Structure 1
Amino acid sequence: MTEFRAPTREMAFTLQQVAGFSEMAKACGYEDASEDVVAAILEEAARFAGSVIAPTNVTGDQTGVRLDSGYKVATPAGFKEAYQQYAESGWASLQFDPEFGGQGLPFSLAIPVQEMWHAANMAWGLCPLLSQGAVEALSENASDVLKEQLLPKMISGQWTGTMNLTEPQSGSDLSNIRTQARPDGNAYRIKGQKIFITWGEHDMAENIIHLVLARLPDAPPGVKGISLFAVPKYLPDASGELGERNDCHAVSLEHKLGIHASPTCVMSYGDNEGAIGYLVGEENRGLACMFTMMNNARLTVGLQGVSISERAYQQARDYTFERTQGTAPGEQGVSPIIKHPDVRRMLMIMKTLTEAARGLAYTGCVAVDYANAENLPDEIKSRYTRRANLLTPLVKGWCTEIAQEVTSLGIQCYGGMGFIEETGAAQHYRDARILPIYEGTNGIQALDLIGRKTIRDKGQAMAELIDDIRPLTGPLQSSSVLTAERQARFDQAVAFLEDATRIVLERGDDDQFTGAVAFDYLMLSSIVTAGWLMLKAATAAANDQADQSAFAANKLATTNFFIDHILPRCSAHLSSMRSGDDAIMALSETDF
């Protein structure tokens, strides 16, 4: 089975040349994040991911997790040790505030590092992913007292964090949450049940800080009556060390299609006197506070799509060199299947989609760093806030959709052996299937893009994105790296995005129409944006004076493939949008 090897050169190039990390670092006051520092961090992270985390992937999937007596979850062999090395090596603190023990590096620099964790073992990587989001939510919304109490140990990795939203009767629609919180002195007593809580209980860290949505007794109905609480597994004592066990437990574990080594828990709060929780932010403003964590998680879930695609591609690619079958065109005798055109087609789809998704994910995260910078003028920060908000549903939606395609093709490259568990190809496919579902289904991402991010701002953010794409369209280029035919295809795709946006804005008051076309708009927007970033990469590689001839040729080859074989999908998405909702809504409910 293929060992994981992080593509650090590709990652560094995408971060610096495509996403614009260097310019962001200089503009936002991250002078210490030089190219040498970035390279050193990525190389060391690659070593750690490959030698410490990756060996736990297959065994973790085979072993899974179990709930023992005393509400204790046992993780697979090696998981706890890998996590302890991760925390002790300082990986948990990269992008966080030095005031609480963080290293103060950009969020976007932590992104390629996290890509490696998830490629090495996605189930394991979900634990630090949720902890990172919890730290972000507390940093933005908690009181100074609560920050001092919780953040140092969470940022060090000594404690982990979770997100508790979903209940049996309340999934994507959080207006029906029933978990209750009643004031009790300086704290609150939480009673209720939450489901699908990722890493809600485990043995890798000494404490878990649950961020729980609940209602106060006099809260207004709906989402406007939800508050957010930090509920520790163990209550910190006066010195900040572990005190008594709180009244919260994992009462069962879900048996899932994939990510078997990630405990997905049913959590019970307040079986006895009530779990003690601490208010985060203002009363009845919990959903707004939680969105700090959710938006962070949506970007990093999109990143997981990149990670699992990279792992599936590497494994399939290596197998096609080893497996011999048939005689390829122009060959004599039995050939490695890498020589067959249809296998090349599959590998090129896998490689190209993964590179394009990486560019999209990194670019979205660099926009977050710009938006959060303290030293930039308000108008620049506002523009990047719009950009980050616009790209978030694209990153979450498209990067997780392409992961379904890439991991499926990974199995296909293996042929019948891909369907056999021992090759490992099936695990990537199973693990990837959760990605379009959690942190807001991709249908919700599409509605967010078309509603909040396009119609509500009258297309401003999308217009700004298209303005940034224009310099690489034909009429404004003096020396394109593309042939005239491919340049025309790219230009046409940009025109498709403009046309689709015009349709959305013209019919924005028709909720049935926008709901019906939202997913096609998400896919079209993502493909055009990813195509722009691929062309940006090919152009940057071609203009680099360093000895990168082979690398530049590789970037141009994947860009050409994207334009020839991926970009034409835009025409189908636009055609579906023009067809509208008539055929979608034609059948009555009883005819299904």
Structure 2
Amino acid sequence: MPEFNAPLRDLRFVLHEVFDAPAIWARLPALAERVDADTADAILEEAAKVTGQLIAPLNRSGDEEGAQWRDGVVTTPAGFKEAYATYIEGGWVGLSGNPDFAGMGMPKMLAVQFEEMLYAANSSFALYSALSSGACLAIDAHASAELRSTYLPPMYEGRWAGSMCLTEPHAGTDLGIIRTKAEPQANGSYKISGTKIFITGGEQDLTENIIHLVLAKLPDAPAGPKGISLFLVPKLLVNADGSLGTRNAVSCGSIEHKMGIKASSTCVMNFDGATGYLIGEANKGLAAMFTMMNYERLSIGIQGIGCAEASYQAAVGYARERIQSRAPTGPVATDKVADPIINHPDVRRMLLSMKALTEGGRAFACYVGQQLDLAKFTEDTDERQRAEALVALLTPVAKAFFTDMGLESCVNGQQVFGGHGYIREWGQEQHVRDVRIAQIYEGTNGIQALDLLGRKVVANGGAALRQFCAEVRNFAHRHEVPYGSELVVALERLETVSGWLLEHAKTNPNEVGAASVEYLHLFGYVAYAYMWARMAAVAEAKRSEDEDFYGAKLATAAFYFQRLLPRTLSLEASIRAGSTSLYELKAEHF
């Protein structure tokens, strides 16, 4: 059975050496009293044990058994319930939660590293608590004091879970046309009626209660997205003293039979006049829900990194042991009939691609986590506004690029195994199946690309983009770093293409949609180049301290700049080709 061992050395390298997270935390009063380097390392050590020893061993068995539905009751695979009980004892659900309500209050820079471990170990298991964490964020940010004090402590403790109920059979991306209704009641509550689909963890047997966050429309709501409100709908009603009461009028009609993440229950949820409570203001529910959605988008992006890391570990282990043919330069393992396949150029190409993309993503996730921490905790207004702008700009990149590259890496990992990669017992085919959903849910990657280019670049004239580019350029010019010139060339390509799109979007509304996916990838490769330049700078300065680790980091950086970053050339050419060819074929001719 494939094993997962958290890449602690690399996680610490990113956290402590590349970003010097403890120094950032020390100047943020809300974090300085809660976390330092030793605390972070202790949390990472324990997280590695929990994910590697408790959760990872359930990954294959959970996939084979899957979540089961019978008469409205969902049962998770064998071992999940017991593992979840141990998991919540450690407080992991509330790792970055508000300490006023039983959360641990840890920074996002640390939380993203834990999430990577969790997704790498078992994506299905990870989703149950990921949805809870996101729901808590929305409740904490927008709900009344009464709702917060009632629902957040048991959710952060992990005794209660959360779900996000947006999608309906006829309404996915276009939430403005949802049909779920909310009828006001005399006591201030609402009766929620409607059906939601694709609800992760909508029903399960892991927790005492499930708190659904549901988008619905009031009777007098305006049409479209401006008429959506957000409601808290518990599975079990909660008494005034916080104890659990009777079953609410909410039920699971079925679960989906899926390609991957089979141990995660993906539910059809029926609300039949269920009691709910308004979160935030009426008709402003979409904005409140986006607090949760943006968290989930980063989290699901990290699923791409985690799956890629797990696939990489398995592929490297196999490539070192599997012997086939002789190396092109002659025998390496002279005592054997053939050489380990890690000596073959194409296998190295696949492994290095996986390594470069996964480690680049790991650094970028920590960078986005840094912006989230600054946006939340800094007392400097200018710094907070700058961080908020970067979070808005980079969230769609993180979600889509992490998961696109995650699938590419998992496919490479499967390919390294050859025929064995297609066989269940080796684990690689499950990584491919599990990671594939990450490109689809929490807003498809095509929608993320439209959000990036249409809303975050074109709509504001590229203001946030210029801010990011200025930071990258200042780094490249301020330091004599490896690959500084290559970084600047790539950055200028991004800036030039962005300017071209800003100009052409003024006269042709199709240009944004035609270029958005290629543009997001171009942005992603440049962002990873920035990360690799930062990592290479540290590795170059400290190489004499640990030749194996820092030398490997520099070699991987060289591969990234020489073999992966040039992909931006073809992306630029594709973008500049424009939208004309997309519309030369009539719809009836497809």
> How would you bin the TM-score normalised by the shorter chain?
over 0.9
Q: Which runs of 5+ in 2 are unaligned?
A: none
Tell me the SS of whatever aligns to 1:193.
strand
Q: Deviations over 1:133-152 (max 9, x none)?
A: 00000000000010011001
| Residue 461 of structure 2: aligned partner | 458
Q: Is the contact between residue 490 and residue 567 of structure 1 (CA under 8 Å) also seen in structure 2?
A: no
Correspondent of 2:470 among 467, 470, 474: 467
State whether structure 2 residue 377 is matched by structure 1 residue 370.
no
Equivalences for 1:82-93 in 2 at 5 Å? 82-93=83-94
- For residues 104 and 255 of structure 2, the distance between their equivalents in structure 1, rounded to whole angstroms, comes to 35
State whether structure 2 residue 362 is matched by structure 1 residue 358.
yes
| Residue 222 of structure 1: aligned partner | 224
| Residue 326 of structure 1: aligned partner | 325
Equivalences for 1:138-157 in 2 at 5 Å? 138-157=139-158
Tell me the SS of whatever aligns to 2:253.
strand
Q: CA deviation at 1:381?
A: 0.6
| Residue 516 of structure 1: aligned partner | 514
Tell me the SS of whatever aligns to 1:387.
helix
| Residue 492 of structure 1: aligned partner | 489
- For residues 584 and 490 of structure 1, the distance between their equivalents in structure 2, rounded to whole angstroms, comes to 32
Q: CA deviation at 1:22?
A: 2.7
- For residues 546 and 298 of structure 1, the distance between their equivalents in structure 2, rounded to whole angstroms, comes to 39
| Residue 507 of structure 1: aligned partner | 504
Question: Which shows bigger deviation, 317-326 or 258-267?
Answer: 317-326
| Residue 529 of structure 2: aligned partner | 531
- For residues 275 and 48 of structure 1, the distance between their equivalents in structure 2, rounded to whole angstroms, comes to 37
Tell me the SS of whatever aligns to 2:210.
strand
In structure 2, relative to structure 1, the CA distance for the partners of 1:211 and 1:44 (3 Å cut) is same
- For residues 69 and 182 of structure 2, the distance between their equivalents in structure 1, rounded to whole angstroms, comes to 27
Letter in 2 for 1:124: F
Letter in 1 for 2:371: A
Letter in 2 for 1:281: G
Q: Is the contact between residue 316 and residue 414 of structure 1 (CA under 8 Å) also seen in structure 2?
A: yes
- For residues 488 and 99 of structure 1, the distance between their equivalents in structure 2, rounded to whole angstroms, comes to 47
State whether structure 2 residue 397 is matched by structure 1 residue 399.
no
Letter in 2 for 1:298: R
Number of aligned pairs?
A: 581
Q: Is the contact between residue 230 and residue 280 of structure 1 (CA under 8 Å) also seen in structure 2?
A: yes
- For residues 524 and 117 of structure 2, the distance between their equivalents in structure 1, rounded to whole angstroms, comes to 23
Q: Is the contact between residue 180 and residue 215 of structure 1 (CA under 8 Å) also seen in structure 2?
A: yes
Alignment RMSD (CA, Å): 1.3
State whether structure 2 residue 10 is matched by structure 1 residue 10.
yes
Q: CA deviation at 1:545?
A: 7.8
Q: CA deviation at 1:253?
A: 0.7
| Residue 179 of structure 2: aligned partner | 178
Tell me the SS of whatever aligns to 1:560.
helix
Q: Is the contact between residue 518 and residue 571 of structure 2 (CA under 8 Å) also seen in structure 1?
A: yes
Equivalences for 1:93-132 in 2 at 5 Å? 93-132=94-133
Question: Which shows bigger deviation, 321-330 or 230-239?
Answer: 321-330
Q: CA deviation at 1:336?
A: 1.1
State whether structure 2 residue 290 is matched by structure 1 residue 288.
no
Question: Which shows bigger deviation, 111-120 or 130-139?
Answer: 111-120
Q: Deviations over 1:287-326 (max 9, x none)?
A: 0000000000011111111000000000111111121111
Q: Deviations over 1:535-588 (max 9, x none)?
A: 101111222388232221111111111001110011111111111111122211
- For residues 371 and 334 of structure 1, the distance between their equivalents in structure 2, rounded to whole angstroms, comes to 55
Letter in 2 for 1:80: K
Q: CA deviation at 1:20?
A: 4.7
Q: Is the contact between residue 60 and residue 260 of structure 1 (CA under 8 Å) also seen in structure 2?
A: yes
Correspondent of 2:255 among 250, 253, 256: 253
Q: Deviations over 1:11-33 (max 9, x none)?
A: 12112333452343123222232
Correspondent of 2:267 among 265, 268, 290: 265
Q: CA deviation at 1:8?
A: 0.8
- For residues 227 and 60 of structure 2, the distance between their equivalents in structure 1, rounded to whole angstroms, comes to 43
Correspondent of 1:47 among 46, 49, 52: 49
| Residue 163 of structure 1: aligned partner | 164
Q: Deviations over 1:385-427 (max 9, x none)?
A: 0011111011001000001100101110000111111211100
Correspondent of 1:431 among 420, 430, 434: 434
| Residue 541 of structure 1: aligned partner | 539
Q: Deviations over 1:80-121 (max 9, x none)?
A: 111111111111122111211112221221111111111100
Q: Is the contact between residue 18 and residue 363 of structure 1 (CA under 8 Å) also seen in structure 2?
A: no
Question: Which shows bigger deviation, 439-448 or 92-101?
Answer: 92-101
- For residues 344 and 390 of structure 1, the distance between their equivalents in structure 2, rounded to whole angstroms, comes to 34
- For residues 313 and 136 of structure 2, the distance between their equivalents in structure 1, rounded to whole angstroms, comes to 33
TM-score by length of 1: 0.96
Tell me the SS of whatever aligns to 2:439.
coil
- For residues 520 and 443 of structure 1, the distance between their equivalents in structure 2, rounded to whole angstroms, comes to 10
Q: Deviations over 1:245-264 (max 9, x none)?
A: 00001110100010010000
Q: CA deviation at 1:2?
A: 2.5
In structure 2, relative to structure 1, the CA distance for the partners of 1:400 and 1:19 (3 Å cut) is farther
Q: Is the contact between residue 481 and residue 533 of structure 2 (CA under 8 Å) also seen in structure 1?
A: no
Q: CA deviation at 1:437?
A: 0.6
Tell me the SS of whatever aligns to 1:267.
strand
Q: Is the contact between residue 541 and residue 548 of structure 1 (CA under 8 Å) also seen in structure 2?
A: no
Tell me the SS of whatever aligns to 2:394.
helix
- For residues 526 and 214 of structure 2, the distance between their equivalents in structure 1, rounded to whole angstroms, comes to 38
Q: Is the contact between residue 26 and residue 36 of structure 2 (CA under 8 Å) also seen in structure 1?
A: no
Aligned identity (percent) is: 44
In structure 2, relative to structure 1, the CA distance for the partners of 1:295 and 1:478 (3 Å cut) is closer
Tell me the SS of whatever aligns to 1:361.
helix
Letter in 1 for 2:583: M
Letter in 2 for 1:74: T
- For residues 81 and 561 of structure 2, the distance between their equivalents in structure 1, rounded to whole angstroms, comes to 44
| Residue 208 of structure 1: aligned partner | 210
Letter in 1 for 2:305: V
In structure 2, relative to structure 1, the CA distance for the partners of 1:2 and 1:422 (3 Å cut) is closer
Q: Is the contact between residue 299 and residue 365 of structure 1 (CA under 8 Å) also seen in structure 2?
A: no
| Residue 568 of structure 2: aligned partner | 570
Q: CA deviation at 1:203?
A: 0.3
